[in-house]
A and B are shown apart, each in its own frame.
Chain A
Amino acid sequence: MKITLNGEVHDIAEQSTLEHLLAANGFADKRVAVEINRQIIPRSVYREREIKAGDRIEIVHAIGGG
């Protein structure tokens, strides 16, 4: 199924959870924050949160800035 991840379309397996998606992209134990369809997803629910086709997902982190 297709999702939009950080502004780009990605094809991912059906029945993926947010935890799967983060692990597949190397963010399993990284300090990130996630928004799905403009709603912030608390870390505590990554495991059960299912990804649906067409979801718009943002994964952000802290970088250098003034």
Chain B
Amino acid sequence: MTQIADDTLVIAGRHYRSRLLTGTGKFKDLEETRRATEAAEAEIVTVAIRRTNIGQDPAQPNLLDVLPPDRYTILPNTAGCYTADDAVRTLQLARELLDGHKLVKLEVLGDPRTLFPDVVQTLDAAERLVADGFEVMVYTSDDPLLARRLEQIGCVAIMPLAAPIGSGLGIQNRYNLLEIVENAKVPVLVDAGVGTASDAAIAMELGCDGVLMNTAIAGARDPVLMAHAMKLAIQAGRAAFRAGRIPRKRYASASSPIDGTIG
């Protein structure tokens, strides 16, 4: 029998119990961010790197005060970057900010309407970051060939979208995701597009190693409760994947024995 507890997510040689990675944007305040992150039981959280506000009260709490790097794996992202140059520069700043931290999330966007990844810029940035010693988790389209190329470059995790960022449309192309999962030797995590718990469960049932989400939690009416729901969905979907589902059939198959019926 498969051991229920013995199932960790391994990224760049580090083991994680949680397969739910969360973003920290769009929450009402830092307290809600903290509570939702705890309810999700996330161990890896993404952050954005932005200019400080000059002249602002410096005493106000900082994100890394509520999500301390000694407790969480902080995953700096390149959200908002539209060129490889900007993405590389942002992550070099993040590395300095986080004392040499190497694990990063690369995303290079193509246009503001779809927020689809610009795959040409993404490949360029990934090559440069890997050469510079970064451990790159890469946001990409759900193209299996591109996923393979990013893995060949040396990315430590492939993170295809399920649907556009923030759309909540759920898993739009499960066969592409399945193809990516079956070919990959590094973890595959769905990043973007999840709307509700069943979407996350489907991703895990397909064999994805984890799901990264932000809007689905932060935008819910009750973000803390949704974080809890997502945690359960990820656990349920993962267990179902490991258990091996029954094949689909067109006709019924009785659950009770036929023998010994009365009459």
Please report A residues at the B interface, Cβ cutoff 8 Å.
Answer: 5-8, 10, 25-27, 30-35, 38, 40, 42-43, 58-66
Contact = CB atoms under 8 A, between A and B. Distances in A.
Contacts of A38: 89
Interface string B3-28: 00000000000000000000111110
Contact of B47 (A30, A58, A64): A64
Contacts of A59: 51-52, 54
Q: Which 10 A-B pairs have the closest CB atoms?
A: A26-B58, A65-B48, A66-B23, A66-B214, A33-B97, A64-B24, A62-B47, A33-B96, A6-B51, A64-B25
Interface string B52-95: 10110111001110000000001011010000000001001110
Nearest to B23: A66
A26 B218 CA distance: 30
A38 B88 CA distance: 12
A30 B119 CA distance: 35
Contacts of B47: 62-65
Contact of A42 (B24, B48, B96): B96
Given A32-B97, A33-B97, A62 B54 contact: no
Interface residues of B, number: 40
A8 B62 CA distance: 23
8 contacts: A6-B52, A10-B54, A25-B55, A31-B97, A32-B52, A33-B96, A63-B63, A65-B23
Interface of B: 23-27, 30, 33, 46-52, 54-55, 57-59, 62-64, 74, 76-77, 79, 89, 92-94, 96-98, 165-166, 212-215, 218
A58 B51 contact: yes
B189 to A, nearest CB: 13
B229 to A, nearest CB: 18
Contacts of B98: 62
B79 A66 contact: yes
A65 B77 contact: yes
Nearest to A28: B58
A5 B53 CA distance: 10
Contacts of B213: 66
A26 B57 CA distance: 8
A31 B58 CA distance: 11
